[in-house]
Structure 1
Amino acid sequence: MQDFIKDLESSLQRGFIDQTHPNKGDHQPQLLLNSKQAKQEVLSSLTEELDHCYSFLFSVAFITEQGLATLKSHLLDLKLKGISGRLLTSTFLTFNQPAVFRELLKMTNLDVRVTDVQGFHAKGYIFEQPTHYTLIVGSSNLTASALQVNHEWNVKLTSHENGEIIHHFYNQFEEMWQTATSVTESWIEEYAKVYEQAKSLPEQVAELPTSYETNPWQQAVTIEPNTMQQNAMQQLETVRAEGNDKALIISATGTGKTYLAAFDVRRYTPKRMLFIAHREQILKKAKADFQRVLGGPDYDYGLLSGSHRDLEAKYVFATIQTLSREEQLQNFSREDFDYILIDEVHKAGALSYQRVMDYFTPDFFMGMTATPERTDDVNIYELFDYTIAYEIRLQEALEEDMLCSFQYFGVTEFEQNGRLIDDTTTLTDLVTEERVGHLIDKIHYYGWSGDYVRGLIFCSQKEEAHHLSAAMNKQGYRTVALTGDDSQEERLRRIDELENGDLEYILTVDIFNEGVDIPSINQVVMLRQTESSIIFIQQLGRGLRKHDSKDFLTVIDFIGNYKKNYLIPIALSGDKSQNKDNIRRRMKDTSYIHGVSSIHFEEVAKKKIFESINSENLMQMSILKDAYQELKNRLGRIPYLTDFQNHHSIDPEVLVGKAHNYHSFLLKMKEDIQLYTKHEDQVLTMFSQDILPGKRKHEVILLDMLLRDGVVTQSAFIDDLMKVGCRTDEATLTSVERIFNLEFFTVQDQKKYGEQPIVVKENGTYRWTTEVKRQLEQNENFRAFVQDIVTVGSQKMQHYSCVEPFQLHEKYSRKDTMKLLNWENDEKATVFGYKVKYNTCPIFITYKKESDVENSVNYRDEFINKNMFSWYSKSRRTLNSKDVQQILNADRNQISLYIFIKKDDGEGNHFYYLGQASPDKFSAEETEMVDEDKKLPVVRMDLHLERSVDKKLYRYLID
C-alpha cells in the first residue's frame, strides 16, 4: 500500500502541480477522448477498469442498446468471478427506450435503479480496484457514439479509499440510490406506455443530440450515390478513358454494388444492357433497383430465367444457367449489348460464364464481387485484363458508414465434462439438450437490435441444423433448417417468413454465405468453427446491410477448442500477413474497426484464440502458396516482396523466414528465376534475415546508397543518417561495418551467409566487394532481389526509432538486441536471462513458464504494476555476486538496463521491449529456489520501468 501511495502522490504532482515532474507513476489524471487518429476510445478505458475491478458504480442519464452491448461480455466475465455492480439512470426526456431496460435486466450481476430527480444528467463511472478507486467523470453517457465516436471530454482520476473526492461521489450516489426505483418487469411495462406517448410527440425530444444514436422512428431518405459509388464511378470513367473495355469492382457485401452498377449504366447510357447473375432472386432485386435509378417503362426491363423469356427488353436480367445454353445464346447477336455486367463474378471461372464471355463483344464488360479470391486455379483478374477500377473492403466500408455497425461477441462454446467442443466433437454431442440450452442462453443474453429477432444461425453440418432447429422449436422458438437439399422456392418462402416475423431463425449450412439479400437480419450466430476467413466475412456480411428496423447487428460467434481459431482476428481485421505477432496485436487492439462497431471476447474464448495462434503453424507452405498465387493472379506477373507489402498480403518476413530468402521461395513455387552462383543466394539470405526487417535503419540506408552510387563515402553516409535523425557515433558505425563484413555473426551464420565480406570500408569509403559488385552487374535477377529487399526494409524501418536502439513495445530477438546495442558479436547462445557487457544489460523474461520447466530456471518474475517489476537474478547468485552488484549499481556504473518480455514460449524467440529500467536497491533481497531438493540462492529486486507498459499489452501479458 505504501508503494501505491508514493506512486499516487507522484502522479498527482505531475497531473495537478508540475507537468515536468519526473513521474514514474501510473495513476496521473487523464483526459479521455475519442480520437480516430490517436486510436483512442473512452470505451477502452472504461472496459479496462471494469475487467479488473472488485465492484463498480455507474451513474448515467442516457443508455442505448448498442452502448450497453459494448459491456455485455465484460459484465458476464465479472459475473463468473462473483463481481457485481450498480447502475443509476433516469427517464429524463424519455430518451432511454424500454428495450434498454429489458436488456439491463438480463445482467443479473447489475442492480439497476431509476431516479426521478428532475434534469438528471450525470455521467460518472466508479471502480473499486485492489489498491484504489478509479473515477471516470465527464460528458460520456452509456451510448456507443459517446463511448467511441463523439467529441467527448472525460477525466479519469485515481483515489485512495480515504480520499475526499471519492467519498463525495459515493455519498452523492448513495443519496440518490436510496430514493430511486428498482427496475422490474412491471415498471418497464408502465414506462413503455409513457415512452409510446412521447414517441408520438417528436417535438418533446427535439433537444436530444442527434449523434447519440439513430432515432428509431427516423424516416427513410431518397436514395443517392454514396461515397463509394461516387468514387467508383469516377474510377470507371478513368478506366474507360484509358481504353480499357473490362474492369472489376471489388466491394464489400452491403456497400451498394447493384446501385453502383445502375448509376454507372445511367451515366454510360448504353443502347442495351445485360445483367448476369446466378440466381433469379438476385435478378429480381437488381431489376427493381435498376428501374428505381434509371426509370422508364416496365417493358424496358426483362427477365431471362426459368419461364421468363423477355428477349427484346432494353435491359435484360439473365441467370447464367439459362443464358449460357447454346440455344439461348443464339437468340442474341454478339453485338446486341454494349454494356454487360456480371454479379458475383468470382464464379465466372465456370464453363457457363466462359461460354457467355467468349460469345458477346460489348463495348464494356464489368464484373462485381466482394470476394475475388479463388481456390480453384481460376484467375478472375485475368478475365478482366487485371483492371481493378475500385476496391473497398470491410474496414473501409465501415469507416465510410456504408454498412450497418455491428457488435461482435466471441463467446465460449459449450463445455461437456470439462472439455470444450472441438474439431472432433461428434454430432450426438453437438445436439445435446445441454448444448441447446447453452446456445439459447447466449443468444438471449447478447440479444439484437429491433422489435424482434430476425436471425441466421450457421451450423457445421446438415444434421446439426435440423436437430437444433427441432430442439429450439420445442423451447418455443420459431425456426427452420435450410440446406442445399431445399429448393430455391422453399428458401425464398422461408426468407419471406423471416422478414415478416413468422420465423425468428433460419439455421443453415453455408447456402446463405452469399447471393442472399435480407437487410433486416439483426443477429448472426456462428455455431461452427471458422475454417476460412473469406467465408467468415461472407457470413458476417449477411447482416451488415442497413435497414430501418435495426440500429446495429449482433454477431455471436461460438468459439470452442478449434485449431483454426486464429482465423477469427485475421477475418475481422483483414490482416493477411500470417505474422503471429500482428495477429496477437489484432486481439489486443481492435481499433481497426471504425465507428461504433466493436469486438468483444469472453475471457475463455479469448484464451482459446491465443492458444490457437501460438500452436498453429501459420507458415504452412499450402497457406503461403495460396497467398502467392492469389497475388500473382491479381498482378498478372510474378510478385516481388514489395508487392506483398503494398497489397497487405503475407508479411515478407514470413516468406523469407520460411525459405531463407525470396528466391528460394520462388523456386518452391516452381518459378524459373535462376541465380548464377550459390554465393548470390547466400548474400540474399543475409540481407533477408538481417536487413529486411528494418529494425536498424543504418544498414538499409547504406545498401540503398550503394545500389544507387556503387561507392559511398563515410561522410556522405553520415549526412544521410543525420537527415533522418539517426545516431552517427563511432560504435554504431563500427557495428554496421561488422554486419556487412560478417564479423558480428556466429560461425554457423557466417557459413550460411557466404563466409566472406559483402561490403567493405577502405580509406573512408564503403564499396561492394569485387565478387558482389560483379554479381550485381551481371545478374539482373540478383540485383532486382537486392533492390526488393531494400525497398521493403525502407518501409519497415519507419516503425522503428533511429535515435534510441529500440522502439517501445516492438519485438526483438536476442540476436537483434546484441546488434542494436552495438555488441561486437552475436552472443545469443550465452545470453539466457541477462548479460552485462559494454555498459549495457539486456534482460529477457518469459512471463509464464512451461509447467515442465526446470526448477533452477523457474523464476517467479511478475509485474507489481505497469511501472514496476519484481525480478529474479539467475540462480546461484547472492547480493555480493558480480553481476548482481553491477545491476544494483547500474546508475553509478553507467550501465543501461533494457527490459524484454514475452508471455510464454509459444511466442517464439522474440520479446516485447518495455524500455529501460532502474533497480530499487532497497528492495533487493536474497532468497532461495528449490531444484531437486537443493536450495539454490537467488536475488530478488524491484525494477522501475522508465515508461508505463501499454495497458493492452500489460493485460495480455498478465492474464
Structure 2
Amino acid sequence: MGNFVQNLESSLRTGFIDRNVSKATTYKPSLLTNNSKENESVLHTLLEELERCQAFIFSVAFITESGLATLKSQLLDLKHKGVRGRILTSTFLQFNQPKVFRELLKISNVEVRVTDLKGFHSKGYIFTHDTHYSLIVGSSNLTAHALKVNYEWNIKLTSHENGEIVHHFNKQFEDVWQESILLTEEWIEEYEAIYAENSEKKAVEQIIEWPASYKPNAIEEALKILPNKMQVAALEEIQQLRNEGKKKGLVISATGTGKTYLSAFDVRRFQPERMLFIVHREQILQKAKDDFQRVLGGRDEEFGILSGSSNHKEAKYVFATIQTLTKDQHLSAFKAEEFDYILIDEVHKAGAKSYQKVMDYFQPEFLMGMTATPERTDDFNIFELFDYNVAYEIRLQEALEEDMLCPFHYFGVTDITHNGALVEDTSLLQHLVVDERVHHIIEKMNYYGHSGQAVKGLIFCSRKDEAKALSTQFNQNGLRTVALTGEDSQEDRMRAVTMLEEGLLDYILTVEIFNEGIDIPCINQVVMLRQTQSSIIFIQQLGRGLRKHEEKEFVTIIDFIGNYKNNYLIPMALSGDKSLNKDRIRRHTKDTSYIKGVSTINFEEVAKKQVFNSIASSQLTALKLLKESYKEVKNRIGRVPLLYDFMVHDSIDPVVLVSQQHHQNYHQFLTKIKENEYDISNEENAVLTMLSTEVLNGKREHEIILLDLLLKNDDITYKEYLEQLIAHDCNVNEAVLKSVERVLDLSFFTQVFRKKYGDQPIVTFKNPSAISFTPFVMRSLKENAYFRDLVVDVLNVAKERTKNYRNDVELTPYEKYTRKDACKLLNWVNDESATVYGYKTKHQTCPIFVTYHKNEEIDARTNYVDEFISPELLSWSTRSNRTLQSEEVKSILYAKENNIDVHVFVKKDDDEGRDFYYLGKANPDREHAKQAVMHNDDGEDLPVVHIPLVMEIPVEYKLYRYIQEGKD
C-alpha cells in the first residue's frame, strides 16, 4: 500500500503540477482519444481496465449492439474469473433499441438497471482494483463509434479507495441506481411497445441505394451515379495504364468493395462499341447486367445475357458465363475483334482451359481482370496474364478504414468435442456432433449474437458428413437450418439462399462451396467450425458477411478454435501479415488494435492460448513455405525479386528469409532453391553474410548510414559521416562511433563469427580524414555488379527496417534483441554474449535477461524466481551462490551511485527463441533487496539475492499480460 500511495502521489504531481517530473508511473492522469494513425482508442484502455479489475460499474446513457459486442468476449472471461459488474443505462430519447437490452440480459455476470431520469446523459466507467479505483469519464457512450472512431475526449483518473472523487462518483451512481428499474424480459416487452409506438427507429449506416426514380433508358439519369472515393482513385490508375499504351489491367479489390460498379464506371469512360463481361456462375449475371445498366443507361435491348438459359449475343453489352462462351458454336459466332472492351470477374480462375481458350481467341482493345484473391495455389500466374499491370489494389484493412465494408466483430472462441476436450484435426464424426458440442456451439452463437432482428447465418464446416449431421442436430434444437455441399444443384443452393434472405431459414451449413462467387448481403453472422487451411480461404469466408445491408450494422464472426496446428494462420489472415515472423504474428494475436474502423478482433483466453501454442510449434521457416512466399512475389513482379521487393509487397520478412542455417544471405537462398543465375566468391559470400546478419535487421542506423555513404564515394571523412548521423538525429558519442568501427572491422566479434564473416575488415578506418571499404570489398563492388546489387539490396531493407527503432537511444522499448545485440548496441568492446547468461555488468551497463516461464527440466541452480508484481515492478533474482555482500550484487544494488545503467530484457519462454523484449531501464530497490536460499537438485542450500527492479517506464500492459500468462 505504501508503494501505491507513493506512486499515486508521483502520478498526480506529473499530471497536475509538473509534467517534467522524471518518474512516470501507471497511475498518472491521461487523456483518452481515438487515433487510428497511432492505433489508439478509448476501447483499448477500457478493455485493459476490465481485464485486471475485481469489479466494475458503468453509467452510460446510450448503448448500441455494436458497442456491447466489443466487450462481450472480455465480459465472458471475467465471468469465468468470478468478476461481476453493474451497468446503469437509460431510456433517454429512446436511443437504446429494445434488442440491445436483450443482449445485455445474456451477460449473466452483469446486473443492469434502467433509469428514466430526464436528461440522463452520463458517460462514466469505474473499475475496482485491490489497491485503488480507476475512473474513465468523458464523452464516450458505450457505442462502437464512440469507443473506436469518433473524436472523443475522456479522462482516465486513478484514486485511492479513500479518495473523495471516487466516493462522489460512487454516491452519484448509487443514488440513481437505487431509483432505477431492474432489467428483465418483462420490462423489455413493455419498452418495446412504447418504442415502436412513439419513437422513430434510429437508422443504421447502410449501403447507398440507387434512386427509386431511376429510368433505365435515361442516360442522363445514369450519369448522376458517381463513383466512391476508392473507385475514383482506381479509375485514374486504370486510365493511366491506357495512357501508357497498356492493353491489360488487373484490379485487386476486397470482397464487397464495389468491383462491378468500378468496372461499369470504367466502361462508361471508355465508351466501347461493344463490351463482354465474363463470369463463372450464371446467378451473378443478372445482377451484373442490372448494375451496368444503372451506371451506363441505355435501352434494355442493349444489355443481353449469354448463358445456358439465354442467348442474347447480339447485344451491345454482353454478359456471359464462361461455360457457355467457351462452346465452339457460341465462340465462333463472334469475331476476334468483336469486343473492344472485355471484363473478367473473379479472374483468379483464369488458369482454367476454358478461360485460356476464350482469352486466346479474342483481341480486345482493353482487357480488365478483377479479383479479391490473386494469389493462387494452382501454379498459375494471374499477374503474368495481365502483363504485371496492377491497375489498383485495395485489401481488407484499407477497405475497412475507408468504410467501404460492413464492420465486423470477430470472436475466436474455444471449440470442444465431448467431456470438455478440444476438437483436433483427427476428431471422429461422432465426437463432433455430440449434444455437448452442439449445445456449446448454439450457446456461443446466441451469446455473441448478430446485428438486426433475425439471424441470417452462414456456417462453414470441415466435412460434408459433419455439415449434414450438425444441421439435423440444430433443427432438433429449434433452429431452422439446411446443409449444402458440392453434391447439391445450383437450384437447391439458390433456393436455400432465397429462404435465408426471406427469413425462412436461420443458417446455411456448407463446406466451402460458398467461399466465393455468391452474394448474400443480408448475412449477419458467419460461423467457422473448421480449422484454417489458408489465409486466402479464411478471408473469403469472413468476406461473405462484409457487404453492407440496410438491416445490419455489423456482422458477427464466430471462429471455433480447436487444437489445430494451423491456428497461427488466424492472426496472419486477420492482419494480412505474410512475414512468417513469429514475433510479429504473436503481436497481432495479443494486440489487435491494427484493425481499422469500428471492427474489433477478440479472442477468448483459452482460444488465444491455442493460437500461441500453434505459433510456437509451427515450422514457419520450412523451405517449402519460404519458396511459396518467394514464388508469390516473383509471380507478381515478373522477375527474380530482391529482398526489398518482399517488403514492398508485404510478404515474408527478409530477416526471416536470410537467417536460416542453410541460407544466411539471399544469394545462398537463391542457390538453395535453384533460382540463381550468377555467382560470387567465397570472400564476397562472407561479406554478404555479415551484412545480412548484422546490418539487415536495422537495429542501429549508424552502420547503415556509413555503408550507404561508402557505396556512393570511394572514401569519406569522419566529418562527413558525423554530419550525416546528425542529419538523421542519431545518437552521436565516442562510444557508439567506436562500436560501429569494431563491428565493421570485425574486431567486436568472437573468433567463430569473424571466420564466418571472412576474417578480414569490411571497412577501413585509416585516420580521421579517411574511411573506406577495404580494397577487396571495393574491388568486388566495382567488378561484380551482382554482388553490388545484393549489398545495395541489404541496405535498402535495413533503411526501411530501421524506421521501427529509435535513433536517440541505444535500445528501443518493446523491440526484440538477442544477447549479442545487447552487447553490440550497448557499445561493449567485444561480443561477450556467450558468458552473459542471465546478466553481466560491463562498460557502465548491466543487461539483465529473464526467461519468464522457465523450462520444467531446468537445473534447480538456475531456476531463479523472477516475477512481475506490477507493470512497474519486477521481482528479480541473482544467480545462486550470491549474497548481499557479493561484489557483482553490490554493483547492481548501487548502480545509480556507480553510474551503471540497468537494462531489462524479458522473453515469455524458450519458444520465443533467442530474442528478448527490451522493457527499458530499471532502478534496483536496495532497501527491499533480500538474501534468501534456493535448493539445487541435490538438496543443497544455495544463497541467492532477490532484488526488486523498479522500471523507469511501466511496461506496456498488453505485453505485460502476455509475458505473465502461462502456457497452460
| Match in the other structure for 2:215 | none
Spell out the pairing of 1:86-125 with structure 2 (5 A cutoff): 86-125=86-125
Of the three residues 295, 299, 303, the one matched with 2:301 is: 299
**What per-residue deviation string (whole Å, max 9, x for no partner) do you get for residues 45-83 of structure 1?**
111111111111111100000000001011100111111
Spell out the pairing of 1:477-876 with structure 2 (5 A cutoff): 477-658=479-660, 659-764=663-768, 765-876=770-881
How far the C-alpha of 1:269 sits from its partner, in A, is 1.0
How far the C-alpha of 1:529 sits from its partner, in A, is 0.7
Distance in 2 (alpha carbons) for counterparts of 1:339 and 1:758: 57
| Match in the other structure for 2:361 | 359
How far the C-alpha of 1:419 sits from its partner, in A, is 2.9
Q: Quick one: which amino acid aligns to residue 154 of structure 2?
A: N
| Match in the other structure for 1:341 | 343
Is the aligned partner of 1:920 residue 2:920?
Answer: no
**What per-residue deviation string (whole Å, max 9, x for no partner) do you get for residues 179-233 of structure 1?**
1111111111110011112334x7xx8xxxxxxx836899877864211111111
Is the aligned partner of 1:935 residue 2:935?
Answer: no
Distance in 1 (alpha carbons) for counterparts of 2:637 and 2:492: 42
How far the C-alpha of 1:152 sits from its partner, in A, is 1.1
How far the C-alpha of 1:397 sits from its partner, in A, is 0.4
How far the C-alpha of 1:343 sits from its partner, in A, is 0.3
Distance in 2 (alpha carbons) for counterparts of 1:232 and 1:263: 10
Distance in 2 (alpha carbons) for counterparts of 1:138 and 1:865: 27
| Identity in percent | 59
Distance in 2 (alpha carbons) for counterparts of 1:592 and 1:799: 16
* Distance of aligned partners of 1:829 and 1:418 in 2 relative to their CA distance in 1, 3 Å threshold: farther
Of the three residues 939, 953, 956, the one matched with 1:950 is: 956
Distance in 1 (alpha carbons) for counterparts of 2:594 and 2:268: 35
Distance in 2 (alpha carbons) for counterparts of 1:167 and 1:707: 67
CA contact (8 A) 2:452 2:553 kept: yes
CA contact (8 A) 1:663 1:673 kept: no
CA contact (8 A) 2:417 2:432 kept: no
* Distance of aligned partners of 1:515 and 1:835 in 2 relative to their CA distance in 1, 3 Å threshold: same
**What per-residue deviation string (whole Å, max 9, x for no partner) do you get for residues 508-528 of structure 1?**
001100001000000000111
Spell out the pairing of 1:265-304 with structure 2 (5 A cutoff): 265-304=267-306
Is the aligned partner of 1:78 residue 2:78?
Answer: yes
Distance in 2 (alpha carbons) for counterparts of 1:790 and 1:847: 35
CA contact (8 A) 2:206 2:549 kept: no
How far the C-alpha of 1:900 sits from its partner, in A, is 0.7
How far the C-alpha of 1:38 sits from its partner, in A, is 2.6
Of the three residues 360, 371, 374, the one matched with 2:373 is: 371
| Match in the other structure for 2:450 | 448
Distance in 2 (alpha carbons) for counterparts of 1:532 and 1:97: 39
215-224 or 487-496: which moved more? Answer: 215-224
Structure-2-length-normalised TM-score: 0.97
Report SS of the residue matched to 1:521.
coil
**What per-residue deviation string (whole Å, max 9, x for no partner) do you get for residues 106-157 of structure 1?**
0011111111211111111111112211111111111001111111111111
CA contact (8 A) 2:702 2:740 kept: yes
Structure-1-length-normalised TM-score: 0.97
Aligned residues: 949
User: Which ranges of structure 1 fall in alignment gaps of 5 or more residues?
Assistant: 206-212
Q: Quick one: which amino acid aligns to residue 514 of structure 1?
A: E
Distance in 1 (alpha carbons) for counterparts of 2:671 and 2:272: 48
Q: Quick one: which amino acid aligns to residue 865 of structure 2?
A: R
289-298 or 446-455: which moved more? Answer: 289-298
Distance in 1 (alpha carbons) for counterparts of 2:862 and 2:913: 18
CA contact (8 A) 2:417 2:436 kept: no
CA contact (8 A) 2:902 2:923 kept: yes
191-200 or 624-633: which moved more? Answer: 191-200
Distance in 1 (alpha carbons) for counterparts of 2:735 and 2:135: 49
| Match in the other structure for 1:41 | 41
* Distance of aligned partners of 1:350 and 1:360 in 2 relative to their CA distance in 1, 3 Å threshold: same
RMSD of aligned residue pairs (Cα, Å)? 1.4
CA contact (8 A) 2:141 2:147 kept: yes
Distance in 1 (alpha carbons) for counterparts of 2:143 and 2:188: 20
Distance in 1 (alpha carbons) for counterparts of 2:751 and 2:488: 66
584-593 or 313-322: which moved more? Answer: 584-593
Is the aligned partner of 1:149 residue 2:184?
Answer: no
How far the C-alpha of 1:499 sits from its partner, in A, is 0.4
Report SS of the residue matched to 2:817.
strand
| Match in the other structure for 1:403 | 405
CA contact (8 A) 2:204 2:552 kept: no
Report SS of the residue matched to 2:514.
coil
**What per-residue deviation string (whole Å, max 9, x for no partner) do you get for residues 83-113 of structure 1?**
1111111100000000000000100111111
Of the three residues 391, 394, 399, the one matched with 1:392 is: 394
How far the C-alpha of 1:950 sits from its partner, in A, is 1.3
User: Which ranges of structure 2 fall in alignment gaps of 5 or more residues?
Assistant: 213-224
CA contact (8 A) 1:675 1:779 kept: no
CA contact (8 A) 1:24 1:867 kept: no
| Match in the other structure for 2:460 | 458
How far the C-alpha of 1:754 sits from its partner, in A, is 1.2
Report SS of the residue matched to 2:896.
helix
| Match in the other structure for 2:217 | none
| Match in the other structure for 1:898 | 903
How far the C-alpha of 1:851 sits from its partner, in A, is 2.0
Distance in 1 (alpha carbons) for counterparts of 2:582 and 2:379: 27
How far the C-alpha of 1:344 sits from its partner, in A, is 0.3
CA contact (8 A) 1:220 1:548 kept: no
* Distance of aligned partners of 1:130 and 1:416 in 2 relative to their CA distance in 1, 3 Å threshold: farther
How far the C-alpha of 1:282 sits from its partner, in A, is 1.3
CA contact (8 A) 2:23 2:952 kept: no
Distance in 2 (alpha carbons) for counterparts of 1:550 and 1:722: 54
Q: Quick one: which amino acid aligns to residue 214 of structure 1?
A: V
Distance in 1 (alpha carbons) for counterparts of 2:29 and 2:704: 41
CA contact (8 A) 2:55 2:83 kept: yes
| Match in the other structure for 1:126 | 126
Report SS of the residue matched to 2:36.
coil
**What per-residue deviation string (whole Å, max 9, x for no partner) do you get for residues 712-733 of structure 1?**
2222112211211223322222
How far the C-alpha of 1:300 sits from its partner, in A, is 1.1
Report SS of the residue matched to 1:738.
helix
Of the three residues 184, 204, 212, the one matched with 1:214 is: 204
| Match in the other structure for 1:184 | 184
Report SS of the residue matched to 1:594.
coil
Distance in 2 (alpha carbons) for counterparts of 1:504 and 1:7: 54
CA contact (8 A) 1:226 1:402 kept: no
Q: Quick one: which amino acid aligns to residue 469 of structure 1?
A: S
**What per-residue deviation string (whole Å, max 9, x for no partner) do you get for residues 866-909 of structure 1?**
11211111111000011100001111111111111111111111
Distance in 2 (alpha carbons) for counterparts of 1:299 and 1:433: 56
116-125 or 770-779: which moved more? Answer: 770-779
**What per-residue deviation string (whole Å, max 9, x for no partner) do you get for residues 681-728 of structure 1?**
111111000001111111111111111112122221122112112233
| Match in the other structure for 1:69 | 69
Report SS of the residue matched to 1:542.
helix
